[in-house]
Structure 1
Amino acid sequence: MAVALFEHERKIRVAVVGYGWVSKNFHTPLINSVKGLDFSVIGTNRIEEVKAECPAFRVLRSEDAATDDQVDLVVIAGVNADHVRLAKIALSAGKHVVVEKPFTPTLEEARELAALADANNCLLSVFQNRRWDSDFLTVKDAIANGLMGSVLHFESHIDRYSPTVPNAWREKPTPAGGTWFDLGPHIADQALLLFGIPKTITANFAQQRDGAQTDDWFNVVFEYDKLRVVLHAAQYVVGGSFRFAVHGTAASLIKYGADPQEAQMINGGSPADADWGIDPDDAWLFKSSDRTQRELLPASRGDQGQYYASIDRALRGQGANPVTPHQAVVLMAVLETAARAAAIKTTLELDLSDEERKAFPT
């Protein structure tokens, strides 16, 4: 698909639709770090409140921002249940669109949006910013360099101590609600990038906290030939756990600390900062069963700003869409299949077309 290209000197005008915590702490600093992007329009249903908070912006109703003549790129970052409706409005108006994860509540809707973007010759992408996390890049580079030999067992954990259920829409039994649809899009996407599409998926979900209305614990297993990939999240882990564990025929790698960029952005940081994405927590590489025989593997530097820098280049014909619609569709198939496998307590295969399977080559 060829998208309409912008001249090098021309600013790409951006509207962010849905102005909550994620928009303020992630999208805003990352968009503003790219010189070619001009973020000046906010779409919201809290117009007067946001106008008072952001007087320098044009503040419109969400639907109006998604179709505004002075907007080229619409970033949809509101509640999950609104993603599809607002993306359809924007794409139908000929806008290029970035959607916050999870892309859609269902696989069918993901395919509908991908087809609509293609029909309207629009760029459509999903905000998988965690592809540029320091912890993931450290592991990705180690695997690419063969440091562990042939990888046989891979674990990705997001474990916390969060015993109280927040009063947030993500915690409600709504479409694409719950911990799997909140954290799963990040760690499943990373696994797909590393290893390709699994043969089967097995999953187990639980509601462990008092008052939980949807899943707050999950354990999902991707099965390949010999390799097993475990994706895990829990709320009752005092002191935390490792972020990644990679076991291969030659060595094991353990990465404990998580990427620092979220904390940096919450504290007002941006990709322009000298210490942006620098991870002080190096990984451990074990080459013997004797745990004293280990070496430190310096952590890679993270840079989530590369997501919007890549969007800018793609719209100017200078690079590829960093997260393609087919990749987004495959990820939605994984999320939906895992949820179904957990519900019926079985192992399932992914129902994907040959073309969709090309999105993540093995």
Structure 2
Amino acid sequence: MTGTEASARTIRTAVVGFGLSGSVFHAPLIAADPRYTLSMIATSNAGREAAAAAQYQDVKTVPDGQAVLEHANDVDLVVLGTPPATHYPLAKAALEAGLDVVVDKPFAVTSGQGQELVTLARQLGRVLTVFQNRRWDGDFLTLRKLLAADALGKVTRFESRFERWSPAIAKAWKARATAADGGGTLFDLGSHLIDQALQLFGPAAVVHAELKVRRSDERADDDVFLVLRHESGVISHLTMNMLCAQQAPRFRVLGSVGGFTKNGVDPQEPYIAAGGSPLDAEYGQEAPEWAGLLGRDGHLDALPTERGAYPEFYRLLADKILDGGTASDLPLPVDPTDAVESLKIIEQARELAASVR
């Protein structure tokens, strides 16, 4: 494909699922990038269908992923923002229909399923990636910059948390889902925390795991603590809790010459949920009072947070697809084999936690 042809083409995209994932993350990011055409939204919920039709008036709405595949000739890319248990069968069917695929996290409910999808995409020459959007959280980008500058020296301990106060389970599928269905906070929030830890400090093994159920209607887990030992020598403490009335720092990182502490949660999701656009000048900007603290030489300095950049995922994906897809040397926004490694960590954690009960 010539540069002119690539610039003239848009990636016709179908978003399957219009809950939080589809409505707040995927559809707004796709609609904001001129190299994509948001062609189709699939949802079986009448209220969500009405909301999708009102917000994206030129987009075709269909009831489910199967209906999207029936129109496979009209789309190039399928984005799966559906419950985890559906990821493997829908992604497999979309790849076999000749489509490129984005799968929301968790990639699948087993590492075996994830690896099978990676192998199938490679065999079929299709682009497959996983929406690990929190690689583009502003606080994570700030930490990556600190580590790249060796500002903390040799890191020894990494503490990372997602803690929320959610005494009731808001989504019906989450209330029904067991761990075998991809339910629970280890699959949900843990997919982000594990991915970030592996990205920062490399391969790891689980050396301690606590998986608890605190809410009466939870069928999997909602209070999880993992300790990972990385081959690099770093120890990661990962905490995810859905019944936490007082949150600890989002990050605390300790190194041989300094430390970094960061409170608060990246503002991109609530900004879009409140009606903002990724194209707004203030998108991704965190309020100055949420700046992290860099501790070195006996004093603390406020460190402004880098601008969050979820649109970068779809920018990199468009580069890849329009440059020739799997034939291109350009990187994927997220290598799906990374998501398989995260699933292996989840499996290790469940096995270890079960063995010490």
TM-score (norm 1): 0.88
Q: CA deviation at 1:48?
A: 9.1
Q: CA deviation at 1:200?
A: 4.1
Partner residue in 2 for 1:8: 7
Picking from 298, 301, 304, the partner of 2:307 is: 301
Picking from 190, 193, 202, the partner of 2:196 is: 190
Q: 2:307 & 2:61 partners in 1: Cα distance?
A: 35
Q: Is the 8 A contact 2:206 2:348 kept in 1?
A: no
Partner residue in 2 for 1:339: 350
Q: Secondary structure at the match of 2:204?
A: coil
Q: 2:11 & 2:243 partners in 1: Cα distance?
A: 44
Say whether residues 1:263 and 2:267 are aligned partners. no
Picking from 331, 351, 354, the partner of 1:320 is: 331
CA distance 1:208–1:95, shift in 2 (3 Å): same
Q: 2:19 & 2:123 partners in 1: Cα distance?
A: 31
Partner residue in 2 for 1:153: 157
* Percentage identity across paired residues of the two chains: 36
Deviates more, 1:336-345 or 1:29-38: 336-345
Picking from 55, 58, 62, the partner of 1:56 is: 58
Q: CA deviation at 1:298?
A: 1.5
CA distance 1:92–1:270, shift in 2 (3 Å): same
CA distance 1:122–1:263, shift in 2 (3 Å): same
CA distance 1:92–1:296, shift in 2 (3 Å): same
CA distance 1:299–1:39, shift in 2 (3 Å): same
Q: Per-residue displacement from partner, 1:149-174 (whole Å, max 9, x unpaired)?
A: 10000000111222333353224343
Q: CA deviation at 1:270?
A: 2.1
Matches within 5 A, 1:260-299: 260-280=267-287, 281-288=290-297, 293-299=299-305
Q: Is the 8 A contact 1:66 1:86 kept in 2?
A: no
Kindly provide the amino acid, as one letter, of the partner of residue 95 in structure 1.
L
Q: Per-residue displacement from partner, 1:12-49 (whole Å, max 9, x unpaired)?
A: 10001122221011111111121100002122334796
Partner residue in 2 for 1:353: none
Q: Is the 8 A contact 1:206 1:217 kept in 2?
A: yes
Deviates more, 1:85-94 or 1:165-174: 165-174
Q: Per-residue displacement from partner, 1:199-221 (whole Å, max 9, x unpaired)?
A: 44421110112333220000011
Partner residue in 1 for 2:186: 180
CA distance 1:52–1:157, shift in 2 (3 Å): closer
Q: Is the 8 A contact 2:206 2:226 kept in 1?
A: no
CA distance 1:51–1:265, shift in 2 (3 Å): closer
Partner residue in 2 for 1:38: 37
Picking from 211, 227, 242, the partner of 2:217 is: 211
TM-score (norm 2): 0.89
Partner residue in 2 for 1:144: 148
CA distance 1:52–1:131, shift in 2 (3 Å): closer
Kindly provide the amino acid, as one letter, of the partner of residue 137 in structure 1.
L
Q: Which has the higher helix share?
A: 2
Q: Per-residue displacement from partner, 1:132-163 (whole Å, max 9, x unpaired)?
A: 00111111111111111100000001112223
Q: Is the 8 A contact 1:45 1:62 kept in 2?
A: no
Q: CA deviation at 1:59?
A: 2.0
Q: 2:67 & 2:164 partners in 1: Cα distance?
A: 39
Say whether residues 1:86 and 2:90 are aligned partners. yes
Q: 1:28 & 1:184 partners in 2: Cα distance?
A: 24
Q: Is the 8 A contact 1:43 1:63 kept in 2?
A: no
Q: Per-residue displacement from partner, 1:308-348 (whole Å, max 9, x unpaired)?
A: 111111101283211112222212212222222222239xx
Q: 2:243 & 2:96 partners in 1: Cα distance?
A: 44
Q: Is the 8 A contact 1:153 1:248 kept in 2?
A: yes
Kindly provide the amino acid, as one letter, of the partner of residue 134 in structure 2.
R
Q: Secondary structure at the match of 1:66?
A: helix
Picking from 110, 114, 133, the partner of 1:110 is: 114
Deviates more, 1:13-22 or 1:208-217: 208-217
Give unmatched runs, 5+ long, in structure 1: 1-5, 347-362
Partner residue in 1 for 2:326: none
CA distance 1:296–1:177, shift in 2 (3 Å): same
Picking from 114, 118, 125, the partner of 1:121 is: 125
Q: Secondary structure at the match of 1:332?
A: helix
Number of aligned pairs?
Answer: 339
CA distance 1:40–1:173, shift in 2 (3 Å): closer
Q: Per-residue displacement from partner, 1:262-292 (whole Å, max 9, x unpaired)?
A: 111101122211111111211101225xxx7
